[in-house]
Structure 1
Amino acid sequence: MIFAAGLGTRLKPLTDTMPKALVPVAGKPLLWHAIQKLKGAGVDEIIINVHHFADQIRQYIEENSRFDIRIEFSDESQALLDTGGGIKRASWFFDDGKPFLIHNVDILSDVDLLQFYRFHADSHSLATLLVSERKTSRYLLFDRENRLTGWLNEATGEIKSPFPELQRDACKKLAFSGIHILHPSILKYMEEFPERFSIIDFYLTICKYCPIAGYAPAGVKSIDVGKIDSLKQLTFIK
């Protein structure tokens, strides 16, 4: 699944006339980069959630013959459902019993998705999150076995965790990349959640009784192209 429904407010004025997914990087739209990344890993079925300038995204996919794979859309035109709600809305698509990958359209990386998928399979987790040690203001907290235990706002000191006795100093602080793999059995836990919710809040709710793993491969480059300044840092994208 490619998350492409966002308003792209940090990419204004570019997103005043186009969706974030079609903002060009190295001569190609962000959506093109995401699709090629997934196809290169063997993905042949993709669902894209749409909201902001949804018709432009649909038209782009059709003009490119759906990239010769199965591409469906999850319509959020009436209201944005946030990351968790977006997955819940598209849950009908994940019907083959196999783990599925979620990829933010504004994330560009050189991660080996096949290796990531194998790691997830070996971890026996309901979800595996691509994370790194990059500097940020908000971190996910993991224990020594790379299991999610909490969330930290470094600027305010706020911590979210289902573990009352969580010791912040005993945790590894890692930044989430916006790429994750979920086992379809995790979808049943979303049934009690509202139509709109954050996937991170969801993970923090269920991690006490469901294993949520972190995957932090050495040397992987990743960047969130969520603002204009980020476009200048794309030295590894060709």
Structure 2
Amino acid sequence: MKAMIFAAGVGSRLKPLTDYSPKALIKIAGQPMLEHVINKLKISGFDEIVINVHHLAEQIIDYLKDNNNFGITIHISDERQELLETGGGLQKALPLFAPNDEGILIHNVDILSNCDLRGLMQYHKEHQAVATLVVSSRKTLRYLLFNKENRLCGWVNKKTGETKPEGFVYKEGEYAEYAYAGIEVVQPEIYKWLPEGKFSIIDFYLNHCNELAIKPYVANDLKLLDIGKPETLIKAEQFVRQILEY
């Protein structure tokens, strides 16, 4: 199975730690964030990974080389000239994978979770979506909205009232409302719809949700930690011990 890890972010929320180290190499329970994600992917059956890099990219490239790519096939998508965000990063990375028609898992480097990645891949295959987004019912201010056909149809910020896509009118109680977990699966065919340049993949999904089947994978009992913030670094070591399977 194939996966991409988004590891190119500058880690501005983790300054000053990220002044000298890329976010992906900040250690949690003795191991860099990147290694935790790679190990979870490996035990879930993934054997080909693309990792995008930008900030202090040489450190990540050297780290992978020093660890012999952890015994699997790893490609680098080099964004040192320009950070392309999640959408542009995916568009640049997709051609690096060996040709296939199976779904590709996308995983943020700063997300730790107990998500069943094998189950996610099987669900995606069975439901024939262009993209399947891991979501949960956790409380938040910003929700992805899915209609009765279980397709993405909008987004709302409950605090500000902002909605997406343009022209979408939010009606309370009319949609399944979920929080995005930073993990998804895409079909390689999505490449033909993705523009070049810098853009958010979530904004792309919202702008094209009427044309493309974007579906949710509702992860029941999801335990998830976004370790991109200083306050969550403190919680991360205990969290790792609770959820990791390796």
Aligned-partner SS, 1:180? strand
Aligned-pair Cα RMSD in Å: 1.4
Alignment check: 8 A CA contact 1:149 1:163 kept? no
Residue 49 of structure 1 corresponds to which residue in structure 2?
52
Residue 204 of structure 2 corresponds to which residue in structure 1?
202
Question: Deviation at 1:135?
Answer: 2.0
* Aligned-partner residue type, residue 13 of structure 2: R
CA distance in structure 2 between the aligned counterparts of 1:92 and 1:58, rounded to whole angstroms: 19
Residue 132 of structure 2 corresponds to which residue in structure 1?
128
Alignment check: 8 A CA contact 2:155 2:163 kept? yes
Alignment check: 8 A CA contact 1:162 1:207 kept? no
Which among 185, 190, 194 is matched to residue 189 of structure 2? 185
- What is the percentage of aligned positions where both structures have the same residue? 49
CA distance in structure 2 between the aligned counterparts of 1:6 and 1:164, rounded to whole angstroms: 30
* Aligned-partner residue type, residue 68 of structure 1: G
Alignment of 1:86-165 (within 5 A): 86-94=89-97, 95-161=99-165, 164=168
Residue 69 of structure 1 corresponds to which residue in structure 2?
72
- Please list the CA deviations of residues 146-190 of structure 1 after superposition, one character each: whole Å capped at 9, or x if unmatched: 311111112211011367465343112211111000011111111
Which among 4, 7, 18 is matched to residue 4 of structure 1? 7
Alignment check: 8 A CA contact 1:162 1:204 kept? no
Alignment check: 8 A CA contact 1:50 1:74 kept? yes
Alignment check: 8 A CA contact 2:163 2:170 kept? no
Which among 206, 214, 226 is matched to residue 216 of structure 2? 214
Task: Sort the Cα spacing of 1:52 and 1:165 in 2 relative to 1 into closer, same or farther, 3 A.
Answer: closer
- Please list the CA deviations of residues 81-135 of structure 1 after superposition, one character each: whole Å capped at 9, or x if unmatched: 0100000011212322211000000000011100011111111110000011122
Task: Sort the Cα spacing of 1:133 and 1:233 in 2 relative to 1 into closer, same or farther, 3 A.
Answer: farther
Residue 22 of structure 2 corresponds to which residue in structure 1?
19
Alignment check: 8 A CA contact 1:163 1:208 kept? no
* Aligned-partner residue type, residue 86 of structure 2: T
Give the number of aligned pairs: 236
Alignment check: 8 A CA contact 1:150 1:162 kept? no
- Please list the CA deviations of residues 42-77 of structure 1 after superposition, one character each: whole Å capped at 9, or x if unmatched: 111111000000000001000101101111100000
Alignment check: 8 A CA contact 2:14 2:230 kept? yes
Which among 60, 63, 86 is matched to residue 83 of structure 1? 86
Relative to structure 2, which stretch is displaced further, 136-145 or 23-32? Answer: 136-145
Alignment check: 8 A CA contact 1:149 1:162 kept? no
TM-score normalized with structure 2 length:
0.92
- Alignment gaps of 5+ in structure 2: 242-246
Task: Sort the Cα spacing of 1:164 and 1:65 in 2 relative to 1 into closer, same or farther, 3 A.
Answer: closer
CA distance in structure 2 between the aligned counterparts of 1:237 and 1:79, rounded to whole angstroms: 32
